[in-house]
Amino acid sequence: DTGVSQDPRHKITKRGQNVTFRCDPISEHNRLYWYRQTLGQGPEFLTYFQNEAQLEKSRLLSDRFSAERPKGSFSTLEIQRTEQGDSAMYLCASSSYAGGPETQYFGPGTRLLVL
């Protein structure tokens, strides 16, 4: 399968714990996006990378959230000191950007539950 993969698919944690999610984009895709989706809502943009550079972060991304894409391939999203409000589906998407509109391909998501 050469699509976007995310790991883990599900994560249950206690409030105050740190969690880290991984996203492996489609090979050679230069852009990688992180979104958060809660029930009944569309995905909310969190941040994105072009190669290894983090180009934009949403104001939704508090200082407890950090994302990296160290070698321009896979990316990690870490949430420190999790809160119950962090419970959501975290979606990763990748695309091949060449200066115009491009299609984003989404991974299956990581569903986080903070108890």
Partner 1 sequence: RKEVEQDPGPFNVPEGATVAFNCTYSNSASQSFFWYRQDCRKEPKLLMSVYSSGNEDGRFTAQLNRASQYISLLIRDSKLSDSATYLCVVALKSSYDKVIFGPGTSLSVIP
The half-sphere exposure of 31 on its side-chain side, counting CA atoms within 13 A, is: 18
The half-sphere exposure of 68 on its side-chain side, counting CA atoms within 13 A, is: 7
Q: Which stretch binds partner 1 (CB under 8 A): 12-20, 30-38, 65-73, 76-84?
A: 30-38
Site string for partner 1, 71-110 (x = CB under 8 A): --------------------x---x-x-xxxxxx-xxxx-
SS3 93: strand
Say if CB 32 and CB 25 are below 8 A apart.
yes
Q: How far apart are CA 66 and CA 70, in angstroms?
A: 12
Smaller CB separation from partner 1, 38 or 62: 38
30 binds partner 1 (CB under 8 A): no
Closest distance of CB 8 from partner 1, Å: 15
Q: Identify the CA nearest to 44 among candidates 100, 89, 8.
A: 89
Site string for partner 1, 36-65 (x = CB under 8 A): ----xxxxxx--x------xx---------
Return residues touching partner 1 (CB under 8 A).
Answer: 31, 33, 35, 40-45, 48, 55-56, 91, 95, 97, 99-104, 106-109
